Amino acid sequence: MDIILIIIALVLMFIGFLGVFIPIVPGSGLIFFTALIYGIITGFETTSIISLVILGILGILTIILENLASLITTKKVGASKYGIIGAVIGGIVGFLSFSLIGLVIGQFIGAVLGELFIKTKFKDSVKIGVATFVGYLLGIVLNSTIAIIMIIVFIFDVII
């Protein structure tokens, strides 16, 4: 029974890891709740409360970093609130239209259009669009790294 639960938990955690790249799939939250539910089902025989607290903190950290990465990079190059709003709207529309590729392209186009809306020079608008893209990539790198750490913490807690 335990090995089947571990396999199911790891599959769910892998899906959570994919959520770092696919916005509609919950990422670190799924990893955390999988570990929590595993702990509850097994009566916390192999899952420690300390590990769950660590996973919870890491999960919250991914949410914070995900939102800060794009914001910091776009603000650093002088994005206005219109550029940021454009990036968010463009990302949503792009994702709903063309999935993951649309998300990235939509954020870029949305940021550029948002800046052009307030009459920012085209060159500066493109620079802000590129910064939005870089922020998105930075967020993915940080979140995927933390998601892997979360899965490793679970494996060490349960298996090793």
pLDDT in tens, 44-99: 988 889 999 999 999 999 888 877 777 788 778 888 888 888 888 888 888 888 77
| Spatial distance between the Cα atoms of 117 and 55, rounded to a whole number of angstroms | 42
Domain extent for 122: 2-158
Residue that the structure tokens 């940080």 belong to: 142
| Spatial distance between the Cα atoms of 80 and 134, rounded to a whole number of angstroms | 17
Number of domains the chain contains: 1
Q: Please report, in angstroms and rounded to a whole number, the separation of the first and last CA atoms in the chain.
A: 17
Pull the structure tokens for residue 67. 């939102």
| Spatial distance between the Cα atoms of 95 and 24, rounded to a whole number of angstroms | 9
Could you tell me the pTM of the whole model? Answer: 0.77
